[in-house]
Structure 1
């Protein structure tokens, strides 16, 4: 039975036992509402009931477009109850882009002139939330009339807030907005200027200042001809005139804010001991915009108040209690103002102290997760400005790692890596290893029920990725500590880490210079692993990642491990090593992840040049031969190739199977603090490129729809075998060196037929078509640095799925001087329309922080 009232309808929906029952109730009720609303004889009372049901359907996410006209018709009623529901339904069911808004023009015009102030308030609220540019221009005179004639604080507040939103919609309204009314009629009239009216004044001033700021940015970024440049100068003079006019209000607003922060509380506006925190926050934001624009334009009318504003911010930070959320909101706005305006160093330290207080509760306060999150998130942004001040609160940051809230953990991790440097690397690494040990070993002992294992895996993966990146960037010279840390991480979190990520561990271990400590450590780890039958509590039992590392180290260092003085030859010998590989081969043969088999095969081949026992050698050969008919084509191919190499004389094999050289990996931005652990940077082509062991003897090709210009590291990987086999290191490297020198000195000039396809804040990009034919296109991109020197630029480019993209190396290099060009060649094969999505990541003026610009470009051509 379909419900007849809103209450019974909600009760029926909530009481549905199955999803099908709920869907049936909603469908029937929706059909009934549609039928009823079409009835012209339906009374307004029943219309209201059906509109109320329609709003409930909207909350459930159902389609409600059929009730939009009836909601507008309900506004035309003279009954206040009908108007109130009609305006509410219109606000929810319509948006500013719909043509139905034209039906509202006359209704809003009539209601804005209605004698009932509550109906006028409804119209003002709706106009502010739903106004399009045309509606704003048509009805602005009515709103301005209310501002000029009304003396009711309630209506003035609504009109000011509506006016602010209209200015956001159409900046041209500033030309006719009566700015003098704010000071003469409102601020100077104590009867009219209540807290609500003052809040409305702040909104209007913010709208004016933000609109001016956007206009200034647009004009400064645009390249205009002489005529447009004259118009720009005229607009700029008009904007500066407006700013100078409203800057006269700064002393009054500062005085109001200072008085609100005093101890003389008005009970009507008291919120947990803080006097009107909403108004205080808006006043701070308004003054911040004044000084932001004034300092940029160097207007004396505003800059003369800089010292008084600094004093006011200090007063607010000192007098505002942080025991409750209202006080924290004010302190947060104070901190934002300090860093956005780049105020003096003492004030920046004060701001960091405030943020640090957000992270830990005091005796008289309780810190909620929202406050912690805000504090951590803001500290991440200010680390580049005041790293030393943030460093002092490492203890508080570390405490947030063990919070129950997963978002707090992630933000605390991001901040921890943001403040990590060579001096605190050891200390923070110890804390992070402790965190990894806890989160991976006893998950349900510390986490609440809403944190699942997937969240824990994300935390582990992000922490391990970031730690490895920091090990690449920073080095405290303690190879032993780094080695022990890497193995500890693998033991504790190996079950969470993908095998692809172990490549990063292998690179880090391979690059450690202290060979003796590596041999001693692996000798001990292998002894424990070989004794796992006696030691059932082996720390890395069933740890695939640790198994992979041990297999790799056997292939690389088995001969050195056997000769090591700490090695027990009764445990570690040719027979036990080969038996260990046989067991792993049998265990992982039927596994879904064949990655381990690749490493076992390579390790078996390398061991054939390091052991002398004939039976052990035959067992190694059997490991390789056993995969010659594997269902996986890559494993089968590798097995056949390895068998051929296995049967070669030792003198030939040793030449091919030398130890891995030190891997030089290009280090990306070291100050990265964003949680982008699922971004483009972790795509499979990037990981395959780092797979140094598999690529040494295998020839693998990976194709991706997203291409990155990083030709130099790829060339190093592909030439690794050639370098090992080269008779003379100097002669092998000479051509590459000369090629790099020639590219560095190359000067790129822009072709005359190039087309500008992107105009950014820092970069311009031009496109030049070399050739477009059936199935193939050859393009060139010319990237120009505008006003700042660009460093370490990394182009990323994507094409549709039906096409394949190949990027050349960026010429002359990844650094571009001011006004200079870099050239990027693109070859696109496949079919379909030519469309590109390009992202340019870079650093400017030597700043370590990474920036990026992204744009889409469509060519009117098809391949």
Structure 2
């Protein structure tokens, strides 16, 4: 029908009757939306619409041109010559008033102004000449528009978007950001939300101008509206730099303590990354990490625990002693006040640190280390060895602590047996460890039995086995879930990575709700909990075309050191023996070779998979980069493999992808059958407020990837 009627509609656009001309322009708008091929037919008649005096014809003409420019680059270039005409119309509206009957709250024809500003934004994007022609009029609109009414705020909002999208002057961008700063002071929460959302999208354009409104943005963290608090939190992290890190962290720690549970995981992880990047001193860095552990409680992500342990292990000796003392104070308070259940990540970090550096904690030298915090308070009292063991016993006897936390505590207690020197403390530790030899939980029972053997036939090996760990290698934010200590006694660190909470497993929910996967199901990975609105058909689409009929194969588990894959949902699949394989010959270290495979490239988003060979298990590093000018939010990467494979995915480095930024994520794929790897991926994100979903199949991996 559109093809049959297009020529007649094109004729009616030239009608002398303004009403018919307006209706014909609207009809042409619908036609080219359904059949873009017919766009060229309407070009000559459309340009003449801008010379009309009738309000209806003029606004429909601008709407029609906007639709054409958004859908065709050639048409966009064709209409760039009308910028002076649009500028002249807009100037008449501002200065002289175009049509009094269309005034709203004293603003002349706001609907037409908004339409023209939107078209100018499209025409001026990435075009210096067109941008220069509209700079003056945008400045006039920004300074002359009445801001006491929502109508004026609408025009100002469109003006700000236009200024930020075109190649505008720096002074004009500062003016636009100042307008958004005024929006933040508005009583209307919708206007405040719009201002925060726009600042978040434009903060990379002129960060210094946004910094001037930092105080107002931080005040929005206290707003009763949850959406405003979320946007203010994200914007606050975007504003952190080396100069304001102390003040920003103080405000964000206060926000973390009083925030809703849904904010704590994301906020704490972002704070850890910011502290690592901009920390002014190692002492401040450690204090901040411990404050995050204390205030985030059980909502802390697993990667934060492992990254904190790496930072402590790599710190100088004095800082390690300081960490042990500071964490001991927190651990003691948690045990005495019985709130350790709500702060289990803190207990885990404290147990590991005290187990490694407990000798520094109880030695006389600890009195010489300054424990004064930022508030000038010194709350450390050097404990006795017996008192430390009493606190451990109280925590180990607790029925509320998780098995993972007790693993940390039990291994830490075993290490303290080589750190403490008095006979009563040694005997007390041995009694506690022997008690776990009959524990109801098989993993704790196994550890109790193995550690007890270190007091019997393997007593001569105990000091060497439980000696202090060497510094862990520094890992990037995407590798921390994969960082493994080199000693068997620290297996709790690895087990902690495997005990992932079931409520975070969004892919599992997509397949079968909350029921556990059987061995024949597809392996899956926890993903960000922000995309819980998918349905079962989505994951079936993602997996369609892959051979899922082959039986699953169990990955063999390491003998001496359990890996994260050896424990799933608190069920031990292959118990590891602490003492077996102690004298196995050392294997030569082979540096893995990396092959980069381009998995997806659409709309400026590039997703690459860097594959490293490793026998039955290959490591893939997903790297997502964006060449788009707008910031990508709610980024989510999903993957699926056939049933003969096992897939484990670590937490991503983030969910916000700035222009020229990067998000990375580690994938571990086990393939005992050595068949070629086929991978289905799905990427979802929001850009400019629009949701985008992309998916692809990747099957061009090297054939010898699992050799």
TM-score, normalization: structure 2? 0.69
Mapped partners of 1:825, 1:408: distance in 2: 37
- The equivalent position to 2:70 in structure 1, one of 210, 231, 245, is 210
Determine whether 1:804 maps to 2:645: yes
Tell which structure's C-alpha radius of gyration is larger. Answer: 1
Secondary structure class of the residue paired with 1:358: helix
- Find the partner of 1:837 among 653, 674, 680: 680
Tell whether the 8 Å contact from 2:29 to 2:67 is kept in structure 1 after alignment.
yes
Residue 309 of structure 2 aligns with which residue? 506
SS in 2 for 1:628: helix
Q: Could you say which residue in structure 1 is the equivalent of 2:396? A: 585
Q: Specify whether residues 620 and 377 from structure 1 end up closer, same or farther in structure 2 by C-alpha distance, changes over 3 A only.
A: same
C-alpha separation between the residues in 2 aligned to 1:209 and 1:269?
26
| Equivalent residue, structure 1, for 2:288 | 485
Q: Is 2:114 the partner of 1:281?
A: yes
* Equivalent position to 2:32, from 160, 167, 171: 167
- Correspondence 1:341 to 2:135: no
The unaligned stretches of length 5 or more in structure 2 are 368-378, 499-521, 528-557, 564-585, 629-634, 650-666, 685-691, 701-707
Of 265, 270, 274, the residue aligned with 1:470 is: 274
Residue 309 of structure 1: which of 134, 148, 172 is its match?
A: 134
8 Å Cα contact 1:803/1:831 also seen in 2: no
Cα deviation 1:399-430 (Å, max 9, x = unaligned)? 11111111111111111111112221111111
2-structure distance, mates of 1:532, 1:749: 47
Give 2:443's match in structure 1, choosing from 634, 640, 643.
Answer: 634
Partner of 1:516: 318
Say which SS state the counterpart of residue 180 (structure 1) adopts: helix
Root mean square deviation, CA, Å: 5.0
Matching of residues 90-239 of structure 1 within 5 Å:
135-149=1-15, 151-153=17-19, 155-177=20-42, 179-184=43-48, 186-190=49-53, 193-194=54-55, 196-213=56-73, 239=74
Cα displacement (A) at 1:787: 11
More off after superposition, 653-662 vs 464-473: 653-662
How do residues 739-758 of structure 1 correspond to structure 2 at under 5 angstroms? 739=591
Pair 1:531–1:495, CA change in 2 (3 A): closer
Task: Indicate the residue corresponding to 1:232 in structure 2.
Answer: none
- What is the alpha-carbon distance in structure 2 between the residues aligned to residue 550 and residue 310 of structure 1? 58
Judge conservation of contact 2:183–2:192 (CA < 8 Å) in 1: yes
Secondary structure at 1:638's aligned position in 2?
Answer: helix
* CA displacement, residues 736-795 of structure 1 (integer Å, 9 cap, x when unaligned): 6xx47xx58xxx899xxxxx9866457698999x9xxxxx9999999999999xxxxx99
CA offsets 1:567-618 (integer angstroms, 9 cap, x no match): 699972221111111111111xx33721211111111110111123334323
User: CA 1:277/1:803 → structure 2, altered by over 3 Å: closer, same or farther?
Assistant: farther
Moved more, 163-172 or 639-648: 639-648
Match of residue 595 from structure 1 = 404
- Structure 2 SS opposite 1:856: strand
| 2:359 paired residue number | 559
636-645 or 375-384, which moves further after superposition? 636-645
d(CA) in 2 for partners of 1:693, 1:137: 74
Return the offset for 1:286. 1.1
Per the alignment, do residues 757 and 574 of structure 1 end up closer, same or farther by CA in structure 2, a change over 3 Å counting?
A: closer
* Secondary structure at the counterpart of residue 146 of structure 2: coil
Decide which moves more: 202-211 or 643-652: 643-652
Q: In structure 2, do the counterparts of structure 1 residues 524 and 375 end up closer, same or farther at CA, with 3 Å as the change threshold?
A: closer
Aligned to 1:411: 231
SS of the residue 2:696 aligns to: strand
- Secondary structure (helix, strand or coil) at the match of 1:261 reads helix
Q: Does 1:616 align with 2:425?
A: yes
Structure 1 residue matching 2:454: 3-state secondary structure: helix
* Offset from partner CA, 1:489-546 (integer Å, 9 cap, x none): 3333425446775444434444444x4355356446646865889x87x997964444
| 2:524 matched residue in structure 1 | 705
Q: Secondary structure of 1:855's match?
A: strand
Structure 1 counterpart SS, 2:419? coil
Q: Structure 1 residue 209: deviation in Å?
A: 1.0
Question: How far apart, CA to CA, are the structure 2 residues paired with 1:707 and 1:435?
Answer: 27
- Whether contact under 8 Å (1:148, 1:181) holds in the other structure is yes
CA distance in 2, matches of 1:161, 1:138: 17
Instruction: Tell me the residue number matched to 1:547.
Output: 347
Aligned to 1:41: none
Going from structure 1 to structure 2, the CA distance change for 1:796 and 1:459 (only over 3 Å counts) comes to closer
Does 2:325 match 1:325? no
Do 1:160 and 1:201's aligned partners in 2 also have CA atoms closer than 8 Å?
yes
Aligned to 1:383: 203
- Residue pair 2:203, 2:210 contacting (<8 A) in 1 also: yes
Aligned residue runs from structure 1 range 525-540, under 5 A: 526=328, 530=332
Q: CA deviation at 1:373?
A: 1.8
**Whole-Å separation in 1 of the counterparts to 2:344 and 2:625:** 47
Would the alpha carbon gap of residues 541 and 572 (structure 1) be closer, same or farther in structure 2, given more than 3 Å must change? Answer: farther
Between the aligned partners of 1:466 and 1:784, the Cα distance in structure 2 is: 18
Instruction: Please state how far the C-alpha of 1:468 moved relative to its aligned partner.
Output: 0.5
Equivalence for 1:625: 434
2:599 and 2:698 in contact (8 A); partners too:
no
Q: Tell me the secondary structure at the aligned position of residue 857 of structure 1.
A: strand
Q: Distance in 2 between matches of 1:490 and 1:245?
A: 58
Aligned mates of 1:519, 1:781 — CA distance in 2: 35
Matched residue SS, 2:95: coil
Q: Would you say the 8 A contact 1:795–1:838 is kept in 2?
A: no
Query: Aligned in 2, Cα 1:197/1:630: closer, same or farther, shift over 3 Å?
Result: farther
Tell me if structure 1 keeps the 8 A contact 2:637–2:681. yes
What is aligned with 2:569?
none
1:372 aligned to 2:192?
yes
Distance 1:263 1:606, change over 3 A: farther
Instruction: Tell me the distance in 2 between the aligned counterparts of 1:839 and 1:564.
Output: 57
Return the alpha-carbon distance in structure 2 between the equivalents of residues 707 and 833 of structure 1: 24
Return the match for 1:427 from 223, 227, 247: 247
In 2: Cα distance, 1:323 partner to 1:785 partner: 42
Distance 1:762 1:779 in 2: 22
What displacement does 1:254 show?
Answer: 1.3
Number of residue-to-residue matches in the alignment: 581
> Taking structure 1 as reference, are residues 778 and 497 closer, same or farther at Cα in structure 2, changes over 3 Å only?
closer
Alpha-carbon distance between aligned partners in 2 of 1:314 and 1:258, rounded to the nearest angstrom: 11
Q: Please say if 1:663 is aligned against 2:472.
A: yes
CA distance in 1, matches of 2:104, 2:352: 64
Q: State which of 245, 252, 265 in structure 2 corresponds to 1:461.
A: 265
Contact 2:193 2:231 in 1 (8 A): yes
